[in-house]
Amino acid sequence: MAQIKQLDGAKVLFKTKNDRSRCFGLVGRRRITALAICQYPDDPSVTYVFSCDRHWKVVGDLAFSSVAEAKDSALEYYGQADIQWL
């Protein structure tokens, strides 16, 4: 598994496996195969859920006020019963 420590300059706190067989949805014609919970060092009061393609390119984001809120909201937003965060 790739060691992803930063995405778009934000520190990766949690991530899912980037599995081509998994689909969290589409952005245009790009398939979302992974999610990452991140914070920018200059503003840790905002926590983001980044949606990523198979190359870990960020194709969308959602902002939250905490890691717990980000995790809970990701389940609902992406229509998942469970998300395995690493």
Is residue 84 situated within a structural domain? Answer: no
Whether the Cβ atoms of residue 16 and residue 86 lie closer than 8 Å to each other:
yes
| Number of structural domains the chain divides into | 1
What are the C-alpha distances in Å from 38 to residues 4, 28, 48, 70, 75?
A: 11, 23, 5, 10, 16
pLDDT digits (tens, 9 = 90+) for 56-76: 999 999 999 999 999 999 999
Is residue 14 situated within a structural domain? Answer: yes
Which pLDDT score, from 0 to 100, does residue 18 have?
95
Average pLDDT over residues 12-25: 92
Domain span at 61: 6-77
Is residue 70 situated within a structural domain? Answer: yes
pTM as predicted: 0.92
